[in-house]
Amino acid sequence: MIDLYTDSSPNGFKVTIALEELAQPYRLHHVRIDEGEHRQPAFLALNPHGRIPVIIDQEAGITLFESAAILLYLAEKTGRLLPKEPVARWEAIKWLMFHASSMGPILGQRVYFEMFAARKIPTAIDRYRQLTEDAFLTLDGRLANNPWLAGEDYSIADIATFGWTHIALICGFSFSHHRNLARWHEQIAERPAVQRGVTIPAPANGP
């Protein structure tokens, strides 16, 4: 049994989608960020940085935080969602890392500066809008000749990236002009496991 500590967020949805895709049994613990539960000592004992998601694999005695690490762990544990052929496998890992180091943080900063910052800073808003467009363009180029980010196989790279494209649309950050990216997003959104995953522990709402 896997214990999952999460909230309704793009990073959390990555893991709920993966668990639903893999049909892995898990026990849900809703960490309500709005109520400060991620700063309580019990949660900080699991992740000293105070961020969701966290999983505990009780059978293996492994506790993990950081969504990319969790996705890699679940793929390795089950032998699914990560291609076995070396070229495709490293494509999946490469695009997972692109998401973790570039796309996710960029979109996170855009959401903050554009929607949550008490004082609107035009230069910051403009910067993260442009960086978002750059990331979308990069993804669109990759998907121009590939159905999935790893190539022919749906993988954890797609799940990670979808976690944030899902939130981007909720926030009104359209990428419909990137046709390959839009096609890819719609294709993932139709998957039953994805439709379940983005409602756990609750659907996300815009600001």
Percent of the chain with pLDDT over 90: 98
d(C-alpha 9, C-alpha 12), whole Å: 5
- Segment 106-133 shows an average pLDDT of 96
For residue 197, the tally of other CB atoms under 10 A from its CB is 23
- Segment 139-145 shows an average pLDDT of 98
- Segment 43-68 shows an average pLDDT of 97
Q: Say if residues 150 and 83 touch (Cβ distance below 8 Å).
A: yes
pLDDT category of residue 207 using cuts at 50, 70 and 90: low
User: CA 15, 192, 64: angle at the middle one, nearest 5?
Assistant: 10
For residue 24, the tally of other CB atoms under 10 A from its CB is 17
Quote the mean pLDDT of the chain.
97
pLDDT digits (tens, 9 = 90+) for 147-194: 999 999 999 999 999 999 999 999 999 999 999 999 999 999 999 999
Helix (H) or strand (E) holding 197: helix 192-197
- The pLDDT value recorded for residue 205 is 82
- The pLDDT value recorded for residue 98 is 98
pLDDT digits (tens, 9 = 90+) for 58-113: 999 999 999 999 999 999 999 999 999 999 999 999 999 999 999 999 999 999 99
Helix (H) or strand (E) holding 74: helix 67-78
Alpha carbon 133 to its chain's center: 18
Burial 91-128 (b: 16+ CB within 10 A, else e): bbbebbebbbeebbebbbbbbebbeeeeeeeeebbeeb
